[in-house]
Amino acid sequence: MKCAVIMFPGSNCDVDCYHACRDVLGQPTEYVFHKEKFSSVDFDLIVLPGGFSYGDYLRAGAIARFSPAMESVIKAAEAGKLILGICNGFQILLEAKLLPGAMKRNRDLKFHCHDVFLRVENNNTPFTGLYKKGEIIKVPIAHGEGNYFADRDTMEKLKARGGVVFTYCDRDGNVTEEANPNGSVENIAGIVSEQGNVLGMMPHPERCAEDILGNTDGRRVFESILQYVEGSVAHGR
């Protein structure tokens, strides 16, 4: 599986994502600078990492969305390649309209940097195939603008097609207001596109993908992707 990690000015989780793809998964991985373009056949997985691209000026992700590399990302998404946006990467995917909705400042205006519990709402995606539906996992968040918003109509469509992949919950899996760290509608932590090949999530699976980090709950996001891509090759999809 050929992986790419896009580097925007202000990305700060690019090295962690590169490490997760190359060292944890053992797959060939390249950095792509924001000024570079690439072809849709170059990579199987493209990761948009966390950070503060362009200083989060105007709105988080709003300026990064127009970089040359993003033109290639949009084409790759249309060609069915897997796109994983984590944190600022999720914000960029929303601004690029590859996913529906928008992000606002956290409800309490604070930057939240701590572990959260997530419930896997949909395991029938290329990114979550190795989780059980309803499984509760612990993954860290680190963001100031993760307050997901979509209007009622968009939410209904999103839910009807199984677009909600992760929700914030308590340790027992209850999706409650108290377990919602940022005010996201219906505790949304991660969503997938209609075609199923673009996932955006605020929590950081790359920060909990190895034993040495004390938590491996995020590793299966990367392993699920690998299994899906290798399965696709085997089945000639």
Partner 1 sequence: MIINARINVRFKSGVLDPQGTAIKGALKHLGFDGVEDVRVGKLIEIKLDAASKEDAEGQIKDMCEKLLANPVIEDYSFELS
Shorter beta-carbon distance to partner 1: residue 19 or 112: 112
Q: Is 71 in the site for partner 1 (CB under 8 A)?
A: no
Smallest gap from Cβ 75 to partner 1, in A, equals 19
Q: Is 95 in the site for partner 1 (CB under 8 A)?
A: yes
SS3 string, 90-149, reads: HHHHHHCCCCCCEEECCCCCCCEEEEEEEEECCCCCCCCCCCCCCCEEEEEEEECCCEEE
Q: Is 108 in the site for partner 1 (CB under 8 A)?
A: yes
Smallest gap from Cβ 101 to partner 1, in A, equals 6
Number of residues that bind partner 1 (CB under 8 A): 21
The correct pick among 33, 55, 58, 113 for binding partner 1 (CB under 8 A) is 58
Q: Is 102 in the site for partner 1 (CB under 8 A)?
A: yes
The correct pick among 34, 149, 170, 223 for binding partner 1 (CB under 8 A) is 149
Q: Stretches 6-14, 96-104, 163-171, 209-217: which one binds partner 1 (CB under 8 A)?
A: 96-104
Cβ(29)–Cβ(18) below 8 Å: yes
The correct pick among 19, 75, 104, 159 for binding partner 1 (CB under 8 A) is 104
Of 87, 143, 145, 169, the active-site residue reads 87
Q: Is 62 in the site for partner 1 (CB under 8 A)?
A: yes
Shorter beta-carbon distance to partner 1: residue 6 or 102: 102
- E runs forming strands in the chain: 3-7, 29-33, 45-48, 82-86, 102-104, 112-120, 136-143, 147-149, 164-169, 188-192, 198-201
Determine whether 204 is an active site residue: yes
Between CA 228 and CA 125 the distance in angstroms is 9
The per-residue b/e assignment along 175-207, b for 16 or more CB within 10 angstroms, e otherwise, is: beeebbbbbbbebbbbbbbeebbbbbbbbbbbb
Shorter beta-carbon distance to partner 1: residue 44 or 56: 56
Cβ(31)–Cβ(5) below 8 Å: yes
Cβ(87)–Cβ(218) below 8 Å: no
The correct pick among 21, 48, 82, 150 for binding partner 1 (CB under 8 A) is 150
Between CA 37 and CA 109 the distance in angstroms is 36
**Residues recognised as catalytic:** 87, 204, 206
Q: Give the binding site for partner 1 (CB under 8 A).
A: 58-59, 62-63, 66, 94-95, 100-102, 104-109, 147, 149-151, 183
